[in-house]
Amino acid sequence: MIYDREIYHYLFLHFPIALFVLGYFFNFAAVVFKNELFNKFSFWNLGLGIITGIATIITGFITDNIVMGHMDNPFPVWSTHGTHMIIAVILFYILFIIKFYWGTVLKDKYILFIHTIILFFFIHGTNLGAKLADRV
């Protein structure tokens, strides 16, 4: 094995962060420029972010089991990184479903507002993880 098992979480975590943030910027550009192509880019970045987010959560459980142990007490959500990130990926999945089924019915600015709230929640969770790993 090239790396120890707990290192894989630190390798994976950059992908959902980049994909969710880039998806948000494409969503913002779709609203500002009223361009459907940006909306499609946002949709696919969101989908790829969910897939890599699930992989990151799995590697996070492995890392937590080996190193941290903070998921032994997963609540309160606002101060526990693992629970926070699981909820964030679930919220992004709900947004993905909304964009897929009702994206043409709902106004783009409403979807952008929901996306903004979820992204702030997600960024707060990443900050908790950075503090947990003594990176901040």
| Percent of the chain scoring above 90 in pLDDT | 51
50 to 18, 87, 89, 99, 134: CA distances (angstroms): 11, 12, 6, 14, 25
Note whether 46 and 95 are within 8 A (CB): yes
In this predicted structure, the answer to whether residue 76 has a pLDDT above a threshold of 60 is yes
Which pLDDT score, from 0 to 100, does residue 11 have? 87
pLDDT digits (tens, 9 = 90+) for 45-74: 999 999 999 999 998 888 877 776 666 776
Nearest-CA neighbor of 45 among 120, 9, 98, 96? 96
DSSP 3: S
Q: Which comes out higher in pLDDT, residue 21 or 106?
A: 21
Q: Calculate the average pLDDT of the chain.
A: 87
In this predicted structure, the answer to whether residue 28 has a pLDDT above a threshold of 70 is yes
Note whether 35 and 91 are within 8 A (CB): no
Q: Kindly give the interhelix angle for 14-33 and 108-132, rounded to the nearest 10 degrees.
A: 160
Its pTM stands at 0.88
